[in-house]
Structure 1
Amino acid sequence: MPLTARAARWCAGHPHGTLAAWLVFLSVAALGGAGTGLRLAPGLPGSVTAVVATDPAKLLVLGAPVVVALLWLVLGSALVTLAAALFLGAVLATALGLVTALSSVLPTSHLACDVVVLLGVVVSADHVLFSVRRHQEAVADGRDIPDTAQVVAATAGRTALVSGIAIAVSMTGLWLVGDALLAPVAFGAIVVVAVSTSAALTLLPALLALLPVPAPRRIRRWWPGRVPALRVHRDTPRLAARLAAPVVGLLALLGLLHFLLRSAGVHDLPGAPPYLSGDAVLTLVLMLVLTVLVLLIAFRPILVALASVALGVLSVLVALGLLAMQVAHIPEWAPMVLLVVLSGPSTDIHVYLLHRFRSEALTGMSARHAMTGGVRRSASAIGGAVAVAFGACIAFGLAGTGEFRAFGWSTAAALLVDAVLVRTLVLPVLISLGGQLSWWRRITPRAHSRSGRGRPRPGSGGAARNH
C-alpha cells in the first residue's frame, strides 16, 4: 500500500488527532508570521508593488461570499461546504503564515502574497471537489470510512500529489533563475502548493470522516427527460478534433500575435521587454522540461507528458492574448505570474483527467471508450472546480486596481477556455491520436482470470478505478 494511502487511512481513522495536529501546526505558522512581520524583497520598484497589491478588506468582502456560495452550489450540503471553507481557510492561513515567517530569510512581496491567496483558493478547491466526488463514489460502492479514505488517496489524493510535485518542481526552476520580482512569487507558489497537497492527504480525509457526505446531485433531477447537449457521447473525440482543436489553435495564434504586437511598445528603450529576453525564455524552457520529467515519471508514456506541456503552452498563449487586449502596456510581471496562477488549476484538472483515463484503460476498454468514460466521470468534479476558480479570479479582478484588475479578468477567461476546450476536448484527441505509443498497458481478461477476478465492466466501481 502506498505511503499516501496509509497516511490518509490513518487520518480518517483518527480524525480528532489529525485535526488537533493541524490546529497546532496552523497556530505555530500564524504566530510565527505575526511575530516576524512581512519583509519585502529589496530592489523592487515601489510603483509595481503598489499597483499589483489588492485591498485585503475588499478582497475578503468580495471573495469569501462568492467562493462559499459556489462551493455550496456545487457540493449541495451546508456541513460539507463548512468543512471545505475551513479547509481553504486553514491552507491559506498556514501558507501566509509560513511565507511571512520566512520573509526574514527569503524576502517576499505584496504580489507574492496575492498569488498565494489566489493559487491557494483554486488549488484547495480542486482538491476538495475531487476528493468529495471520489468519496461519494466509494461510499456508493459500500466501503467503510478507512477503505473510502484509502480509495480517495489512491485516486484524488494521488492527483493532488502528482500535480503538487509538478507545480512545485516547475516553480523551483522559476525561483532559482528568476529575478527579484519573480523569485518571491515562485517561492510563495511552492509554499502554498506544498501546504495544500499535505492538507489534501491528511486534513481532508479527517474532515470527510466526520461528516455525512450526500450523494451527488444529477442533472436529471433538475430537468426532466434527456438533455443531449449535456451528455458525453462516444464520438466526443471526433467532434473535438473537428471543433475544439481549431478553435484553441486560432485563439492561441491570435493571442501570440496580439501579445507580440502589444509588447513592441512597452518600453521606450531599445531591446525586448524583460519577459521576452533570453533569461525569460531560458526560465520558461527549464520549467517546461521539469514538468515533462515529473509527468513522465508519473504516467510513463512520453507522448502524454509532451501533450501535457503543449496544452499548457496553448493555454498560456490564450491568456496572454486576453490580457494584451485589455491593457495598453503589459507589465513585466504579468506573463510569468499568469503562468504561475494558471499552472495550479490546469495541472490539477489535467492530472485528474489522466488518472481517469488510465483507470478506464486498465480495465481493457478501447482508447475511445476510455476517453469518453473518463470525461463523463470527471465532468461534475471538474465543472465545480472551474466554477470556484472562476469566481475567485473574478473576485480578485474586482478587488484589484489597474493592471491587476485586467489580470484577474484575463485569468478567469483563460481558465474557462483551458478547462472546457483544452483539457476536456483537445487532451483526449491528442492522446487518442498517439495510439499505443501514448497509452497504458491494459489488463487483459486472461490476467483477470489468473488473478481470480472477473473482468470489471466498463464504468463500474471496480478495482480498476482505484489505480
Structure 2
Amino acid sequence: MRKKPATVRIARWSATHPWSAIGLWVVFVAACLVLGGAAGTNSISDEESGVRESGRAGKIVHSGDFPEKAEENVLITAEDGGKLDPAAGREAAADVIERMKALDEVEAVGDPVPAPDGKALLVPVTMKGDTENADRRVQPLLDASASVQDDHEGLRVDEVGTGSTAKGLSETLGEDFKKAELISLPLTLLILLVVFGAIIAAGVPVVLALSCVGAAIGLSTLASHVLPETSAVSNVILLMGMAVGVDYSLFYLKREREERRAGKSHVDAIEVAAETSGHTVVVSGTTVIVAMAGLYLANEATFASLATGSIIVVAVAVLASLTVLPALLAKLGRWVDKPKVPFLWRLTMRSGESRVWPALLRPALSKPFITLVVSVGALLLLAVPALDMKLKQPGSDDLSRDIAVVRAMDRLTDHFPSKGTVHQVAVRAPADRADDVESALNGLLGRTAKDELFAHDSTPTVKVSEDRTVHTVDVGTPYQPKSDGARQSLDLLREWVPQAMADVPDAESAVGGKVAQGVDFTGHLEERMPWVVGFVLLLTFVTMVMIFRSIAVALSAILLNLLSAAASFGVLVAVFQNTWAEGVLDFHSSGAVVSWLPLFLFVVLFGLSMDYHVFVVSRIREAALAGAPTRTAVREGITRSAGVVTSAAIVMVGVFAIFGTLSMVEFKQLGVGLAAAILLDAVIIRIYVLPALMTALGKWNWWPGKLSGGPDGPAPLPDQAEPGGRPAEEQPQYARFAAEQQYGQQYGQPSAQQAPQQQYQQGGYQQAPQQQYQQGAYQQPYHQGDHQDPYQQGGYQQPGPYRDDASRPGYYQQ
C-alpha cells in the first residue's frame, strides 16, 4: 500500500492527538511572542537603508560617530496667526526656558531665536539620551509646553522635534489600527458567516489567522537581527496574515465540510481535506513565498525587510493550516457547524447548481471573442492612468493634517524654513586635511547664502567628528520635499559640492537628506525593477508549465496577471495622484504614488493570484481530461470553483480595504491597490477574460500537450502510466478509475452497458433519480481491506499510480 502524502500524515496525527497539536501550537505562538519581545527590534538605520549617493552620505556620517541627541523645538506664535507681540513672546520664552531647565529629561536649552518674519520665537531644547526612545521620554517636555500655553493667553505654544513627532504619529497609528481591528474583525466574521452559515465555523479562520499574525510578528522581530526591519513590516504582516490565514482555513474547512456531508467520518473527512485542500495550501503558500523572495533582488534593505516579514507570515499560515487546524476540526466535531444562523445555514446547504455563475459566464462562453475584446479593453482602459505614474518617498507633506503634531510642524517650517526640508552635505577626508575641508564647506555655504533655492533664516553650522575625519553641514531649503524647488536645490548642491572639494586631496563627499533619499530610492527601483519582475514572471511560467504541462496555459497566466496588475496600478494612480478622492478616503494627494508600492504590489498580486489561477484552471483541465468539450469544461471548472474563489477574494478585499481607512498615505495606497487588484482578478479576469480566452483557444489551451478522450479515456501524462506488475485495482485511488468503467464515459462517450442510464447534465453525473452528484463530491466507494475511500470531487481520472504530483487534477480542489 502506498505511503500517504505528508499533509495527510500530519493531519491524521493532529486529528487523533488534538490536544497535543493544539497545545504545541499555543506553545509555539507564545514562544515566538516572548522571544521576539525579549530580543527587541533591530530597525533599519540610515546607513543600511540608503542607496546611491544618499546612501554614501549616510555611511560617511555614520563613520563619524557623531553623538545622537534628541532635539525639540518650542515654537511661540500669536494665537490668531498674526504678528507676535515682542514683550509677550519674550515672557513666554523665558517661562519655557525656566520650566525646561527644571526637567531631568533635558540636557540643555538654547536662547530664543526670532523668526525673520517677526511672527514667531523658537526655543531649542536638547534632551538627554539618544534618539531611540525619545518618544517615551518626551511627555514631561510636552506637559511643560502645554503649561506655558495655559499661562499665556493669546499665544500658541507648539512643540515639534524628534520625540514629540514620533509620539504623535505613533499614537495616531495606534488609534488607526484599533479602529481597523474594530472594523475588520466583524467584517471578516460577517463574510465567513455568509460562507459557512455557522458561528464557530466562521470564527475558527479568524482566530487562527490572528494567532499566525502574532507568531509572525515575534519571528520577524528575531529575524530583524539578521535582516534589519522597517517600521512598516508589522503592518504588512497584519495585512498578509489576515488575508492568507483566513483564506487557507477557508479552503480547508469548505472541503472538510463537503466530505462530512458526503458521509465520511470526521477523521476521514480531515484526511481528504488534507490531501486536496492541504496540498493546495502548500502549493499556494510556496508560490507566494517564492514570489515574495523576488523582492530580495531589489537589493535594498526596505524590500528585504518586507519580503522577510511576508514570507514568515505566509509560512506560519501554511503551518497552521496543516497542523493545528485539523486538530481543531477533530476536537470540535459537529460543533463546528453550530450555532447555526438559520437563513444563512439553509443558503450554504442548498443543493443543486447555482444559477448565478452560468448566467455570468454565458457571454464568455457564447461569444468568446467579443467578450475577450470588451473585457480586455475595459482593463486596458483602467490601466491607462498608470502610464502617468509618478513615484516619491513618503514625507511630512504626505501626513494627514488632522494630526496635531503635523499642523505644528507646518507652522514651524512656515516661520523657520531651515527646520523643514534639509539637505545634508557629508565629507570624509584625512584628519590633516580637516582645515581644508572646513574652508571648502564655508565657501560652499557662501554660495548657498546668495541663492534663493536655499533657506536664509539661520546660518548653517559645520559639525566635525572627534577624529576630525568627517565633516557634515545641513543646508535648508524653503520648499516642500515634493516640490520642484526642493529637487532643483538638490541638483544644484550636488553640482557645487564636488567643485568645492576638488582642491582637497583624498576627500570623499556626498549629499544626502530626505529629498536625496527619495530621488535615489526611486532611481534605484527603476534600475532593479526589471530583475524583480523578470524573476516573478519566470517563476510563474515555470510553475504553470510544471503543473499543467502546457506552455499555452503558462503564457496565458502571465498575460492575465500582467493585465490585472496594470489595471490595479491604473486605479491606484487615478485615485492617489489626483484630488477627486481626497474627501472620500480622507487624504491629501501628493501627486505621486509611494515609490516602494508598485513593486511590492506586483509581487504580492502575482503570488496571490496564482493561487486562484491554479485552482480554477485545474478544475477546467479536470473536466477536459474527462473528455468534455472545451466550452463545457470551462463552464464546469469555473462553476465548481467559483464559490470558494469568490469567498476567498471577498475576505481578502475586505481585509485590504480596511487599510484604506488609515491615516498614513502609504497604507491607504497599499490597501486600495491590493483590494482593487484582487477584486479585478476575481471578477473580470476569472469570470470574463479567462473563460473567454480558454474557449477561444480550444484545444490549443493544452499545447504542446494533448487532452484526448477516446474510447479508452484520455491519454495519461508521462508519469501516470501504470507500473508493471501492479494491477490497477491495487492502486489506492482505484475507485476513481473504476468509476469510469462502472458509470461510463461521462462526456458523450458512455459505455455500451451504461449509455441508456447515464448522461452528463450541467456538471452533474446522474446515474439514477435517487443518486445525484451534489456539491462537487459524488461518492463511489471502493474496498481495500476495511478502508473506504469515496470517489472524490473532481471528475474522471485516468488509471495510473497515485502520486504527489502537482500536475494531477484533483490536487487543487476544494
Quick check: TM above 0.5?
yes
> Within 5 Å, which residues of 2 pair with 1:239-254?
241-242=368-369, 245-254=372-381
Quick check: 173-182 or 375-384, which moved more?
A: 173-182
Aligned partner of residue 387 in structure 1, secondary structure: helix
1:423-465 Cα deviation digits (max 9, x unpaired)? 2332233334444453374676636997571326554423462
Determine the structure 2 residue equivalent to 1:9. Answer: 12
1:334-378 Cα deviation digits (max 9, x unpaired)? 102222443454232222213322333343333322221221122
Q: 1:164 to 1:344 in 2, by over 3 A?
A: same
> Within 5 Å, which residues of 2 pair with 1:398-437?
398-437=661-700
Q: Tell me if structure 1 keeps the 8 A contact 2:368–2:696.
A: no
CA shift, 1:324, in A, is: 0.4
1:249-268 Cα deviation digits (max 9, x unpaired)? 33443344312223289885
> Within 5 Å, which residues of 2 pair with 1:60-459?
60-211=181-332, 212=334, 213-214=336-337, 217=345, 228-229=355-356, 231-232=358-359, 235=362, 237-238=364-365, 241-242=368-369, 245-263=372-390, 268=484, 273-274=522-523, 277-327=526-576, 328-439=591-702, 441=707, 446=712, 453-455=738-740, 458-459=763-764
Q: In structure 2, what is the Cα distance between the partners aligned to 1:442 and 1:202?
A: 39
1:288-332 Cα deviation digits (max 9, x unpaired)? 112222232233222222222221111111111111012221110
1:386-435 Cα deviation digits (max 9, x unpaired)? 22112112211112433422432233233211101112332233334444
Determine the structure 1 residue equivalent to 2:35. Answer: 32
Q: 1:361 to 1:178 in 2, by over 3 A?
A: farther
Q: 1:322 to 1:218 in 2, by over 3 A?
A: farther
CA shift, 1:148, in A, is: 1.5
Q: In structure 1, what is the Cα distance between the partners aligned to 2:300 and 2:483?
A: 18
CA shift, 1:16, in A, is: 2.0
Question: Going by fraction, where is strand more abundant, 1 or 2?
Answer: 2
Q: Tell me if structure 2 keeps the 8 A contact 1:274–1:280.
A: no
Taking structure 2 as the reference length, the TM-score comes to: 0.52
Quick check: 374-383 or 434-443, which moved more?
A: 434-443
Aligned partner of residue 593 in structure 2, secondary structure: coil
Which letter maps to 1:306? L
Which letter maps to 2:651? V
Quick check: 182-191 or 1-10, which moved more?
A: 1-10
Q: In structure 2, what is the Cα distance between the partners aligned to 1:277 and 1:267?
A: 20
Q: In structure 2, what is the Cα distance between the partners aligned to 1:112 and 1:251?
A: 34
Q: In structure 1, what is the Cα distance between the partners aligned to 2:709 and 2:267?
A: 27
Quick check: 187-196 or 145-154, which moved more?
A: 145-154
Q: Tell me if structure 2 keeps the 8 A contact 1:9–1:146.
A: yes
Q: 1:157 to 1:354 in 2, by over 3 A?
A: farther
Q: In structure 2, what is the Cα distance between the partners aligned to 1:13 and 1:174?
A: 40
Q: In structure 2, what is the Cα distance between the partners aligned to 1:141 and 1:226?
A: 16
CA shift, 1:229, in A, is: 4.5
CA shift, 1:102, in A, is: 1.2
Q: In structure 1, what is the Cα distance between the partners aligned to 2:232 and 2:686?
A: 28
Q: In structure 1, what is the Cα distance between the partners aligned to 2:20 and 2:241?
A: 24
Give unpaired runs (5+ residues) of structure 2. 51-161, 393-481, 492-518, 577-590, 715-726, 730-736, 747-762, 765-772, 779-790, 795-809
Q: In structure 1, what is the Cα distance between the partners aligned to 2:267 and 2:353?
A: 37
Aligned partner of residue 107 in structure 1, secondary structure: coil
Aligned partner of residue 232 in structure 2, secondary structure: helix
Q: Tell me if structure 1 keeps the 8 A contact 2:609–2:678.
A: yes
CA shift, 1:236, in A, is: 5.5
Which letter maps to 2:20? G
Q: Tell me if structure 1 keeps the 8 A contact 2:365–2:691.
A: no
Quick check: 115-124 or 38-47, which moved more?
A: 38-47
1:202-234 Cα deviation digits (max 9, x unpaired)? 222222223325499565989xx9985554577
Q: Tell me if structure 2 keeps the 8 A contact 1:123–1:348.
A: no
Q: 1:296 to 1:406 in 2, by over 3 A?
A: same
Q: Tell me if structure 2 keeps the 8 A contact 1:170–1:288.
A: no
Q: Tell me if structure 1 keeps the 8 A contact 2:594–2:666.
A: yes
Identity of aligned residues (%): 30
Q: In structure 2, what is the Cα distance between the partners aligned to 1:260 and 1:164?
A: 32
Q: 1:203 to 1:226 in 2, by over 3 A?
A: closer
Question: Going by fraction, where is helix more abundant, 1 or 2?
Answer: 1
Q: In structure 1, what is the Cα distance between the partners aligned to 2:622 and 2:325?
A: 23
Q: In structure 1, what is the Cα distance between the partners aligned to 2:709 and 2:20?
A: 40
Q: Tell me if structure 2 keeps the 8 A contact 1:232–1:372.
A: no
Q: 1:264 to 1:191 in 2, by over 3 A?
A: closer
Aligned partner of residue 64 in structure 1, secondary structure: helix
Q: 1:240 to 1:130 in 2, by over 3 A?
A: farther
Quick check: 58-67 or 246-255, which moved more?
A: 246-255
Quick check: 263-272 or 139-148, which moved more?
A: 263-272
Aligned partner of residue 325 in structure 1, secondary structure: helix
Give unpaired runs (5+ residues) of structure 1. none
Q: Which has the higher contact order (CA 8 A, sep 6+)?
A: 1
Q: Tell me if structure 2 keeps the 8 A contact 1:19–1:206.
A: yes
Determine the structure 1 residue equivalent to 2:732. Answer: none
Q: 1:176 to 1:221 in 2, by over 3 A?
A: closer
Taking structure 1 as the reference length, the TM-score comes to: 0.87
1:68-88 Cα deviation digits (max 9, x unpaired)? 222223221111122122211
Aligned partner of residue 171 in structure 1, secondary structure: helix
Which letter maps to 2:291? S
Aligned partner of residue 264 in structure 2, secondary structure: coil
Which letter maps to 1:282? W
Over the aligned positions, Cα root-mean-square deviation in angstroms equals 3.4
Quick check: 118-127 or 11-20, which moved more?
A: 11-20
Which letter maps to 1:418? D
Aligned partner of residue 182 in structure 1, secondary structure: helix
1:166-216 Cα deviation digits (max 9, x unpaired)? 111121121243422212111111111111122222222222223325499
Which letter maps to 1:431? M
CA shift, 1:240, in A, is: 7.3
